[in-house]
Homo-oligomer: A and B are copies of this chain.
Amino acid sequence: MDNSEEFTTASERAYRIIREKILSGELEAGARLSQRKMAALSGVSIIPVIEALLRLEHDGLIEQRPQWGARVTVLSDERIRDLCLFREAIECQVARTLTETLDDAMMDVLKDMAVELDEVAQAEGVGSHYWLLDCAFHAKMAELTGSRMFVDAMRRINLFGILKQVAAASPGVPGILPKDWHMRIIRGLRTREADKAEAAIRYHVQNAFARDMAHT
């Protein structure tokens, strides 16, 4: 495996490399990130690292204080609550918006993704394969609203979710989720009523929250 693929810019390379090391757990929660060490790590100079660290801070993966430095975000209960509330806010509004703007073809795209997701959950359980599909599904919903802010917000939510999953490292157990865990969302959207779609996705998000907290 060669990590030094050619990216568009050195900042991008530093960002990707450092992010990967955080998401994989190689850089543990609370670990301090020295600019010089990150520069050596990613094979670039300090300036691109500064930019990369800012982007990581925007993503919520690290925290910076002026004149002090950066460290990997510690996933306290408070931060997890934060994330879940934020996710609930975004996803509910996404669902409401989709009831008004989504055409039938796009609805079918979402439905197919939901079906596959539920099948994987039943067959393999909540493992890395499931997480990948889940992220893609929710990202697709955000994308279909046509709103950049929702897409960006969902990207951050998913990144944080991966970090949380790495910290928990729970094994995949098949059949834990209801068989129509994601199809319920589709049915909510198909009513074309904002309140019903919102209720469906809120149920989905809040239960995911409860399950995550139980794992810790």
Q: Which of A18-77 contact B (CB under 8 A)?
A: 47, 50-51, 54-55, 58, 60, 66-67
| Given known A47-B50, A54-B55, contact A67–B9 (CB-CB < 8 A) | yes
A88 within 8 A of B: yes
A170 within 8 A of B: no
A137 within 8 A of B: no
Contact A82 B149 (CB under 8 A): yes
Query: Smallest distance from the beta carbon of A216 to chain B beta carbons, Å?
Result: 19
User: In the docked arrangement, what's the CA distance between A54 and B52, Å?
Assistant: 10
Which one of A89-97, A127-135, A174-182 contacts B?
A89-97
The chain B residue sitting closest to A55, CB to CB, is B54
Query: Smallest distance from the beta carbon of A90 to chain B beta carbons, Å?
Result: 6
Residues of B within 8 A of A92 (CB): 89, 92-93
The chain B residue sitting closest to A7, CB to CB, is B66
| Other-chain residue from B12, B51, B82 in contact with A51 (beta carbon distance below 8 A) | B51
Residues of B within 8 A of A51 (CB): 50-51, 54
Residues of B within 8 A of A145 (CB): 85
| Other-chain residue from B12, B58, B150 in contact with A86 (beta carbon distance below 8 A) | B150
The chain B residue sitting closest to A46, CB to CB, is B47
A3 within 8 A of B: no
A167 within 8 A of B: no
Query: Smallest distance from the beta carbon of A67 to chain B beta carbons, Å?
Result: 7
The chain B residue sitting closest to A83, CB to CB, is B149
A4 within 8 A of B: no
5 chain-A/chain-B pairs, Cβ below 8 angstroms: A50-B50, A78-B146, A83-B149, A89-B90, A89-B93
